[in-house]
Amino acid sequence: MDITQHLAITLKTLRQARGWSLSKLAEETGVSKAMLGQVERNESSPTVSTLWKIATGLNVPFSTFISPEADNPPVFDPQQQAMVVKPLFPWDDTLKYDHFSITLAPGALSESTPHEAGVIEHVVVISGELEMQIDGIWQTLAPDTGLRFAGDKPHAYRNRSGQTVHFHSLIHYPR
């Protein structure tokens, strides 16, 4: 099963388990009913940003949508491949975290919808310069520096340089 098939099945299963219609799912995620239907029917691949919205609206870890059969496949924005997200460690139900290796293309901006209350995110830059906006304030992170912040606030990642930025993101969910 490829990742888009896994995504389609997982999304439909999660929605139906909650007894939600596509309209209710759209209301909870901020993603259009049409897009959600296309994803469920495996007719469209969502962007990373859209997938984050879906995960947040369903209150599930982002990695839920990554096929466990695949060997840590990257997830990327299919329109521009601006952001590539690769799980380093699969979802840990005991410790309640996701750990990702992420690359952000030159000039790319990725805005994240706030996660559920109590989520803490840790970002560590591996190479390049990453600009992060937390609650409207931009700051620059150089290689070998990190930032811990409340993931339940609006935040964004930006690369204004001509080089790809590589960073790790550990997202810790409340118990």
Q: Is-contact 131 108, C-beta < 8 A?
A: no
Residue 146 clears pLDDT 50, i.e. is over it: yes
Residue 77 clears pLDDT 80, i.e. is over it: no
Q: What is the pLDDT of residues 28-48, one digit of tens each?
A: 999 999 999 999 999 988 888
Comparing C-alpha atoms, which of 35, 34, 32, 39 is closest to residue 14?
39
Cα–Cα distance list, 36 to 11, 127, 151 (Å): 8, 35, 24
- Pull the structure tokens for residue 107: 């000039």
- pTM for this structure? 0.73
3-state secondary structure (DSSP) of residue 25: helix
